[in-house]
Structure 1
Amino acid sequence: METDDLKSMSVERLWSLHEQLVAELERKIAAEKATLEQRLRALGLERISRKPERARRPYPKVFPKYRNPKNAEETWAGRGKQPRWLAAQLRSGKKLDDFLIQRKPVQKRRRAG
């Protein structure tokens, strides 16, 4: 098909041609994929074609570092985007240290011996 033929076609005819092309390409791609999968099964390489599923490594629990004084249930660990309550307080002139959660010092156990 010549480029001049495409230029002279109406928008409706071009769109119809586009839809025909997409349908035909989808059919051919599906057939090719089925053929390739059949060949992989014949070779016994079916598992290689898929991404291996890896278990996520365990991350330690992140405890909250900051607490909303107006609502004690709202906390933030200091990771990710700042919560709205904290951003509003910081805009009003307070400092981040004003919201720190006071932790009790961890006592180390003495080993007997």
Structure 2
Amino acid sequence: MDLSKLSLPEMFQLQKDLGAEIEKRKVSDKKNLIAELQNLAAAKGFSLQDVLGGAVSTKPARSAGVAQFRNPADSSQTWTGRGRKPQWVQDWLDAGKPLDGLRI
């Protein structure tokens, strides 16, 4: 893929899509791995809980989230939209600007 032909907004969208896809893949790959390990343990006459001492969870760990907002003054600063608003977001809103103006 030749990234030099993409516009900056297209690259930001690609970055957002890539982050979301990575999170989905991590969840599905973990589920598949747990299923494989359960089958392997069962073939040896054990449950996976027996082998790992009951520390098996099929629920995905809560991810940090994908950034949805970017500071226009410093593109390295992002915010997922969860938790406390960063100061640069609050300053933006205090200036009467809409939150969607920061959306990636």
Q: Pick the structure with more helix per residue.
A: 2
Q: TM-score scaled to structure 2, two decimals? A: 0.41
Could you state the TM-score of these two structures normalised by the residue count of structure 1?
0.38
- Which has the higher relative contact order, 1 or 2, with Cα contacts under 8 A spaced 6 or more apart? 2
Which of these two proteins has the greater Rg computed from alpha carbons? 1
